[in-house]
Amino acid sequence: MARTSFPGVLRNATLLTVFTLASLSAARGQYRELYDFPNSNIDGGVILDSAGNIYGATDEGGGASGGVVFELVMPGDSLNILHTFNGSPDGAGPNAPLVFDRAGNLYGTTYIGGAYNAGTVFMMSPALGGQWLERVLYSFTGGPDGGYPQAAVLLDNSGHLYGTTTAGGTYGQGVVYRLNISAVPLATTLHSFGAPGDGIGQTGSLVADAAGNLYGTTYSGGASQLGTAYELSPTNIGSGWAETVLWSFPGTEYDGENPVGGLVFNAYGYLVGAAEHGGTYGLLCQSGNCGALFALVPLRGGWSEYVLYAYEMNPCDHPVGPLAIESSLESSKAYYPDLSGGNGGGCLDEAVPREYGEWLPEDLDYFPNEPGLQPNGGVVVDRQGNIYGTYSSQNYAAVYEFTPLD
For residue range 221-250, what is the model confidence (pLDDT) as tens digits? 999 999 999 999 998 655 689 999 999 999
Higher local confidence (pLDDT), 183 or 229: 229
Residues β-bridged to residue 25 = none
Higher local confidence (pLDDT), 182 or 278: 278
Return d(Cα 122, Cα 125) in angstroms, integer: 10
pLDDT reported for residue 230: 96
Query: DSSP letters of 219-265?
Result: EEETTTTS-EEEEEEE-SSTT-EEEEEEEE----TT-EEEEEEEEEE
Q: Count how many residues are written for the chain.
A: 406
Q: What percent of the chain has pLDDT over 70?
A: 86
Nearest Cα to Cα of residue 148 among 191, 111, 173, 122:
111
pLDDT reported for residue 68: 96
Q: Out of 151-155, 317-321, 342-346, which region has the weakest mean confidence (pLDDT)? A: 342-346
Average pLDDT over residues 260-270: 90
Nearest Cα to Cα of residue 379 among 403, 348, 352, 341:
348
Return d(Cα 341, Cα 362) in angstroms, integer: 13
> At 226, phi and psi to the nearest 5?
-115, 15
Tell me the helix, strand and coil percentages in the chain, rounded to 5.
Answer: 0, 50, 50
- Residue 42 maps to a domain: yes
Return d(Cα 390, Cα 373) in angstroms, integer: 10
For residue range 319-328, what is the model confidence (pLDDT) as tens digits? 988 999 876 5
- Residue 56 maps to a domain: yes
Nearest Cα to Cα of residue 61 among 405, 406, 396, 394:
396
Look up the domain containing 69 and give its range: 28-82+370-406
Higher local confidence (pLDDT), 183 or 81: 81
- Is the pLDDT score of 303 beyond 90? no
Return d(Cα 318, Cα 73) in angstroms, integer: 32
- Residue 47 maps to a domain: yes
Return d(Cα 277, Cα 279) in angstroms, integer: 6
- Is the pLDDT score of 375 beyond 80? yes
Average pLDDT over residues 265-283: 82
Q: Out of 57-61, 288-292, 395-399, which region has the weakest mean confidence (pLDDT)? A: 288-292
pLDDT reported for residue 10: 24
- Residue 70 maps to a domain: yes
Inter-residue contact 240 to 220 (CB < 8 Å)? no
Average pLDDT over residues 3-21: 26
- Computed over every residue of the chain, the mean pLDDT equals 85
- Place 285 in a pLDDT band, splitting at 50, 70 and 90: low
Q: Out of 121-135, 215-229, 279-293, which region has the weakest mean confidence (pLDDT)? A: 279-293
Q: What is the largest CA-CA distance in the chain?
A: 60
Query: DSSP letters of 337-391?
Result: EEEEETTTT-EEEEEEE-GGG-EEEEEEEE----TT-B--S-EEE-TT--EEEEE
* Number of structural domains in the chain: 1
Cα 81 to chain centroid distance, Å, stands at 22
- Residue 317 maps to a domain: no
Nearest Cα to Cα of residue 45 among 383, 376, 364:
376
Q: What pTM value is reported for the model?
A: 0.89
Return d(Cα 114, Cα 383) in angstroms, integer: 37
- Residue 61 maps to a domain: yes
SS3 of residue 145 by DSSP: coil
- Residue 59 maps to a domain: yes
- Residue 314 maps to a domain: no
For residue range 19-62, what is the model confidence (pLDDT) as tens digits? 222 233 356 888 899 999 998 999 899 999 999 999 999 999 88
- Is the pLDDT score of 2 beyond 70? no
Return d(Cα 379, Cα 361) in angstroms, integer: 15
Q: Out of 13-27, 164-178, 273-287, 384-398, which region has the weakest mean confidence (pLDDT)? A: 13-27
Return contacts of 135-141, CB within 8 angstroms, 24+ apart. 136/89, 136/90, 136/91, 137/107, 137/161, 137/179, 137/181, 137/185, 138/179, 138/185, 138/187, 139/89, 139/91, 139/114, 139/115, 140/114, 140/116, 140/165, 140/168, 140/187, 141/116, 141/168
Categorise residue 385: left if φ over 0, alpha if ψ from -120 to 50, beta otherwise. Answer: left
